[in-house]
Amino acid sequence: MKFIKILLIIAFAGAVFYLIGPRPSFKAIDYSTPDVSISLDSLDTYISEKEAQIPDIKPGNKSMIIWDNDSLKNKTKYVLLYLHGFSASPMEGNPIHKEFAEHFGMNLYLPRLEDHGRSSENSFENLTPDDYFESAQQALEVAKLLGDSIVIMSCSTGGTLSILLEDTCPEIAGFIFYSPNIDLFDPTSDLIVQPWGKQILRTIMKGDYNNVTYEEEPAKYWNTRYHINGIVALKTLLHDYMTKENFRKFDKPFLLMYYYKDDEHQDDVVSVEDMIEFYKYAGTPVSQKKRIALTQAGTHVISSDFFSGELDHLREETYKFATEIIGLQPKP
């Protein structure tokens, strides 16, 4: 009996020690609109000067505008805003985002989100959910200057940020979600936001950095080594804000596409099951939302010609949604 009591005391003490351990802590995201007081004819200079303040941006990773008319550089009826995923860059959506904007005669804004596209291994060391979201808010403010109405196309965590932007901007006409990150595929990632989460992650990663292997071309546009704080900030964003309450507030038209063939052949980066939960609970009328599983994409990044095996089908369904649901018309 005495031995059992000792075991219970040890177990209780261990549980208390675990529960009082440090948890990841970030300030709540701020939904107030950032001030981007720039004239249309100053936008290129504004973006160029802002990017020049970051000395280690990799070639081809900077924010940029692709104008529908590069000579006039005028506002278009619709603008396409592309929000890339975590540890990626605007090139992630190539060629679909450029083809879409050209097809429908739209200006295209390709922002580099907070702390992305850098060569430093210390990328994301100081990333917070609020900073991450604010960079998407700033991108949306630029998009407002480029078009009367906004279509937001996104991949992965760009979709996470897009969901949170929806309620902040009446000019948004619709959303195109490619593999939106509602939660990570690996359920053990929930440990990251629990007591000792960052310490557990550091143990798993064998240090403070995550290393990812890409082939030569994709490696130019994705982070191959970055600080694990980025993963903690990302998981906190998902845990705290990808909720049924926020899904129900979402009521704009949207297209949801993802890779899923069967349980053995599906997106293994983010959770398809949670994407479907978002689709189910979103307040968008059934007639204005569409969900399509791509069985041959074979990848998480379904709109990239670096990875996807089903670009033609994706392109066809994307254009169909844009014309039939959003009401876009091809450029004459």
Predicted confidence (pLDDT) at residue 246 exceeds the cutoff of 50: yes
Q: Is the dihedral of CA 317, 255, 36, 95 positive or negative?
A: negative
Rounded to an integer, what distance in angstroms lies between the CA atom of residue 177 and that of residue 54?
29
Determine, yes or no, domain membership for 332: no
Output the six-digit token pair for 179: 């593999």
Alpha-carbon gap, residue 285 to 302, rounded angstroms:
25
Reported confidence tier of residue 46, pLDDT bands at 50, 70, 90: very high
- Over 90: is that where the pLDDT of 5 sits? no
Average pLDDT over residues 129-155: 98
pLDDT-derived band at 64 (thresholds 50, 70, 90) equals very high
Residue 80 belongs to some domain of the structure = yes
Lowest mean pLDDT among 35-39, 85-89, 146-150, 305-309: 35-39
- The CATH number given to whatever domain includes residue 261 is 3.40.50.1820
> Quick one: pLDDT at residue 2?
53
Provide mean pLDDT across the span 112-129. Answer: 98
- Provide CB contacts within 8 A for 214, sequence distance 6+: 222, 224
d(CA 269, CA 208): 21
The predicted structure's pLDDT at residue 54: 97
Q: What is the pLDDT of residues 174-209, one digit of tens each?
A: 999 999 999 999 999 999 999 888 999 999 999 999
CA distance linking residue 179 with residue 31, whole number of Å: 24
pLDDT of residue 17: 43
- Residue 286 maps to a domain: yes
Q: Is residue 103 part of a domain?
A: yes
Residue 18 has pLDDT above 50, yes or no: no
Provide the residue range defining the domain that includes 121.
2-326
Whether the per-residue pLDDT at 8 is higher than 90: the answer is no
Distance separating the N- and C-terminal Cα atoms of the chain: 86
Output the pTM of the full model. 0.93
Instruction: Give pLDDT tens digits for 216-234.
Output: 999 999 999 999 999 999 9
- pLDDT for residue 11 is more than 70: no
Is the pLDDT at 15 greater than 60? The verdict is no
142 located within any domain: yes
pLDDT at residue 25, as a whole number: 84
Structural domains counted in the chain? 1
**Mean pLDDT value across the chain:** 94
Alpha-carbon distance of 44 to 27, in angstroms, equals 32
322 found inside a domain: yes
The reply to whether 96 falls in a domain is yes
Q: What is the spatial distance between Cα 44 and Cα 99, in angstroms, rounded to a whole number?
A: 21
Residue 331 covered by a domain = no
* Distance (Å) of CA 245 to CA 93, 163, 241, 276, 278: 29, 12, 9, 15, 10
